[in-house]
Amino acid sequence: MQLPLFPVDIYLLPNGICKLQIYEQRYMRLVKLATANNHGFGLCMQIDDNLCHFGTRVIITDFDPLPNGFMSITIQGTEMFLINNHWQEHDHLYIGDTSPVPNWHSKNIAFIDQNISDHLKKLFQQHPDHASYYPEPKFDDITWVCQRWLEILPLEVNQKQWFMSRNDCSAALSFLHTVITTSPNAE
């Protein structure tokens, strides 16, 4: 699938939600393309000037024009993808030829890790602005819990890419056990 690409430092996985401010003309065009074809656009990261291999297709769930002429959009991740090829058009908007990557499935993980889930609940309570993006949080879905943790932890881009290349949340869960149980604020 060809998607307009938005290289940004935001790490968003399927079912993740965030807001972006759009002000460059090329990204105004990206919004038009994303809403016209109902495929959304690709959120991807970059290292230096190179686009990373994995990204997340997102859809625009809400938008608001701002008084300064910018636009605020709310996006939600739908699926991960692999960038097979990409190019820049006349206005420097990236377009990518992408292939979907299967979303992680919780059915492979037959339990909920209550400790990891409870710590995310506490974090949401401490940050109600972020929690407001998720009116119906899925704290009993270990994939959803792991993905929300990975979105908010300060990880290097190559670490984020590595997690995206996994088949399920097992590696993320192991990593979270290490981070949460060794963190001084874990209790």
DSSP letters for 27-86? HHHHHHHHHHHSS-EEEEEEETTEEEEEEEEEEEEEEEE-TTS-EEEEEEEEEEEEEEEE
pTM of the full structure = 0.90
State the DSSP code for 135.
S
pLDDT along the chain (187 residues), means of 10: 94 96 95 92 94 97 92 97 97 97 71 83 96 94 94 95 93 91 54
Tokens 């979105």 -> residue: 151
Q: Given 2.30.130.40, 3.30.930.10, 3.50.50.60, 3.40.30.160, which CATH number is that of 2-101? A: 2.30.130.40
- Looking at residue 182, its pLDDT comes to 55
Instruction: Please tell me the predicted confidence (pLDDT) of residue 113.
Output: 76
Q: Report how far residue 121's alpha carbon sits from residue 116's, in angstroms, rounded to the nearest whole number.
A: 9
Tokens standing for 180?
């949460």
DSSP state of 141: -
All structural domains of the chain with their residue ranges:
2-101, 106-182
